[in-house]
Structure 1
């Protein structure tokens, strides 16, 4: 099956496992007729870094209508390592238990990512990208707008 190559760049406004007000911004990028096409998404609510990152990835991947190879650019170590090492597929096969037999956190998000309408293949990278500065400044601007309301 010939798969579309898609990049998803994700930035979040919070770090760590504590639940607090935060936001994500993603940029979805693919080629159409040899021209780059981008789509963006933003959301703000109480969450953790991992949850925001997963939600951004789910929202972005839901916009991809054909089976694709989706390369995820994220600085969220947990999500990066899980995708890179194929843990979600292992967790699902083990009844959503970790290798140590503990329940997987955010199972509903991981399951939603794996069970999307299209059978995407995900890979992950922590490398910086050309959208990063813009995304971080956009998150900061939206934060200031939110606080000012």
Structure 2
């Protein structure tokens, strides 16, 4: 089963209140398109945390192993997998190449677990460039950030802006 996913995150201030948006698209064998939109707002968070949460929410919504084509305008997310930063961080005990702690390890670990049952290809898409689904994700994320309702980002650490 192939699912095409688009995600985005937003933060009003960094840190500030934020939100994520995700659009999941699946074409059934009969040719019918199925679309699922996800979003959530958070009280105090960062943009990178919301970028990660969009991906996590989309992958956690899948009920069986899928082939996933995941589009994100976050180079932070895409490069972590495509440039194999994740493996280096794990090998160094969640430290960067500069020996500093990796930011958002709670979400990276959750993302790795959410990705595990799936065959995921990460693709970068230029943000705010008129791409229909990226624009929709941006709208979902910003509305969630601005209008809520917003929940607490329990993993956010004050002073850990990205």
TM-score by length of 1: 0.78
Cα 1:91–1:38, aligned 2, differ >3 Å: closer, same or farther? Answer: same
**Greater shift after overlay, 60-69 or 129-138?**
129-138
Segments of structure 1 that go 5 or more residues without pairing to the other structure are: none
TM-score by length of 2: 0.72
Per-residue CA shift, 1:80-118, capped at 9, x if unaligned? Answer: 221221222332233222223322111111111112384
**1:145: Cα distance to partner?**
4.5
Corresponding residue for residue 110 of structure 1: 108
Corresponding residue for residue 81 of structure 2: 83
Q: Secondary structure in 1 aligned to 2:125?
A: coil
Corresponding residue for residue 93 of structure 1: 91
* Structural RMSD (CA): 2.7
How do 1:1-149 residues align onto structure 2 when only pairs under 5 Å count?
4-14=1-11, 18-33=14-29, 34-45=31-42, 46-116=44-114, 118-127=116-125, 129-139=131-141, 145=147
Cα 1:125–1:59, aligned 2, differ >3 Å: closer, same or farther? Answer: same
Contact kept? 1:49, 1:76, Cα under 8 Å: no
Paired residues, what number?
A: 143
